[in-house]
Amino acid sequence: MTEIILQTDQKSRRYSNKVDPKFLKRRSIFNKLAAYLLFAAAATSVFVTAGIVYVLVRDSMPFFEQVSIGAFLTDTQWTPMFENPQFGVMTLVSATLTVAGIALLIAIPAGIGLAIYLSEYARPAVRETVKPLLELLEGVPTVVYGFFALLFVTPLLQSLIPELAGFNMLAPGLVLGIMILPYTASVSEDAMRSVPMGLREAGYALGFSRFRVATTIVIPAALSGIMAAFTLGMSRAVGETMVVAIAAGQNPHFGFNPLEGGATITAYIVQMAMGDLPHGSIGYQSVFAAGLVLFVITLIFNLLSFYMRKRFREIY
């Protein structure tokens, strides 16, 4: 064994002596340059995020000098353009969470079902065909989804639910569920595919059916990835703009009734951005305050996703 090691060392030294020193120097420079470029890319993303937070906080501070944080978080009226304006952001938050909650009610069961089929049942050729087609839904413009919810889904639902309003939170919630389905299904399927085949074979050896193996072995083993997928899908639904702005209406109304219309945080920001708000007015400043709330909500869901992934992660 010692002779083999010595012969290997001698061969490696002879090979290193034959390598051109200029080549080694160029490779070293290239490696350092690549490291600097990658660090610059990572630093740019952090810098952009920090800049967004700075702008939101800076332009929100004058708003909170005129409106107390307590009234902002507890009032149930949002009338920034009235003679006696009220700024109860919970009105916008309730509509945002209602629409996102409906979307998750669609995306969770459909996403898990699709992920189980693609991971456990579909043949490789079928999987390689269905998954790219499913991910094509991500490329459809959100404006198209919005008009689809307003002009097709809403009339269809009104034929089933006569009391459904023309602008409601149910139709955009359903369409949002379809829109985030590629995220939830694709990431969940990737998490299930990463489960070692040995765990599946152990279940089959015990006489489990394929469905029982998927539900009692694969899903618990991939739970961290599945939870992260749906939490990120929730963040995507909360931050959606055009679907809710078109189909849910822009009338702020506190409540969680999906049959009524409502204004989400993103819909309010779009509404104010298209208006002629004087720069520096309290209405103008309320846009940044609402954006700050949306940023905090999204940050909470992202942190929850990170915690779920860390808490339930299985390393094989």
Residue 87 — φ and ψ, nearest 5°? Answer: -130, 75
- Confirm whether 293 is domain-assigned: yes
- Confirm whether 39 is domain-assigned: yes
pTM of the model: 0.81
- Confirm whether 4 is domain-assigned: no
How many Å apart are CA 188 and CA 109, to the nearest integer? 12
- Number of other residues whose CB lies within 10 A of the CB of residue 58: 10
- Number of other residues whose CB lies within 10 A of the CB of residue 140: 13
Any idea what the CATH number is for the domain that residue 83 is in?
1.10.3720.10
Identify whether residues 191 and 298 lie together within a single domain. Answer: yes
Identify whether residues 88 and 42 lie together within a single domain. Answer: no
Identify whether residues 135 and 250 lie together within a single domain. Answer: yes
CA distances to 30, 72, 116, 313 from 235, rounded to whole Å, are: 38, 22, 23, 20
Q: Output the furthest CA–CA distance in the chain (Å, rounded).
A: 93
- Reference 164, options 258, 267, 264; nearest CA is 258
Identify whether residues 83 and 184 lie together within a single domain. Answer: yes
Identify whether residues 155 and 204 lie together within a single domain. Answer: yes
Identify whether residues 96 and 167 lie together within a single domain. Answer: yes
- Reference 259, options 177, 179, 181, 172; nearest CA is 172
Per-residue pLDDT 10s for the chain (316 aa) are: 444 444 545 545 554 555 567 777 788 888 889 999 999 999 998 999 899 999 889 988 988 888 888 888 888 888 887 778 888 889 999 999 999 999 999 998 999 999 999 888 888 888 888 888 888 887 888 889 999 999 999 999 999 998 888 889 999 999 999 998 888 888 888 888 888 888 888 888 888 888 899 889 898 888 888 888 888 888 888 888 888 888 888 888 888 888 888 888 988 888 887 766 677 778 888 888 999 999 998 888 888 877 877 776 666 6
Q: What total number of domains does the chain contain?
A: 2
